Structure 1
């Protein structure tokens, strides 16, 4: 994702259970992955971990599932092997937040100066001059 993701080469922690079922092998469990990115409100770095639960059926080559589903609808066993990478990638990517925040109550950036609100004093403000009256401000400044 653009704002947050699993760094390339990171180690994932897998706690998986593989069960033989009538149609194939059911893989269920959890994946713990480190996340790096930036807050969608204040643009500060985010370094955290996520735990994602997964459950995926890997169908036997000649099972009823193979006959009743499309090729890309269900994962397939390749002999005695199963490829977890696409399943893990899809599960983790779908669990990533679309707008990550460093904390739930992050106030973001000041819309005028672009400084994070957390770094600004409580009385921070910008004088907003109505553009329709801006010409009068110039007259007043020239009189002084």
Structure 2
């Protein structure tokens, strides 16, 4: 019966994010390098900054068999696009993150002593990289993307981009409490005889 219980929880995950580790074996110390381009459209902070349509994540990884499971180390890199939070200009940036993640073998000491979600796990000798890479990349993205750290933003009066408008740009503003007085004086300037 235990085999039947195990068989019912078998993973059938496939796709570009999934790596089969059977050829790695369970002998501690064996390793294998993987380089892969994975489609990742929309990965990021949607509506703010994300991988554009047709975008990919470049994975450069080393998978090592260790006593408790498979240790994945390496980098994930991609290009993201969005718009500047201050001036709304389109922007593009390269993002690269370092990855280090242990995928525990079923019934290993790590598997037995950790809660679900505390550590990644191997399912049918398959490593699903998507959650780990997605989390690492999203955490590396700026929550407030800027085209440059010193971006001046937009003019609050006319909405123009301050970097394009120049340092002399300005709007005369009158305190609404003085507006009636200002109108009276402007009216007197038009009719000097009334003074």
TM-score, length-scaled by structure 2:
0.71
Deviations 1:70-113 (A, max 9, x none): 11111110122111111111111111101010111111111221
Q: Partner residue of 1:12?
A: 57
* Structure 1: stretches of 5+ with no match in the other structure: none
Stretches (4+) displaced over 3 A: none
Tell me, what secondary structure is at the counterpart of 1:19? strand
* Number of residues of Structure 1 aligned to a counterpart in Structure 2: 144
Q: Which moved more, 1:3-12 or 1:68-77?
A: 3-12
Alignment TM-score, normalising by the size of structure 1: 0.94
Map 1:43-54 → 2, pairs under 5 A: 43-54=88-99
Max radius of gyration: which structure?
A: 2
Structure 2 SS opposite 1:110:
coil
Between the aligned partners of 1:54 and 1:114, the Cα distance in structure 2 is 42
**Other-structure match for 2:69:** 24
Does residue 96 (structure 1) correspond to residue 168 (structure 2)? The answer is no
Shift of 1:40: 0.8
5+ long unaligned stretches in structure 2: 1-44, 191-195
RMSD of the TM alignment (CA)? 1.2
Is residue 130 from structure 1 mapped to residue 180 from structure 2 by the alignment?
A: no
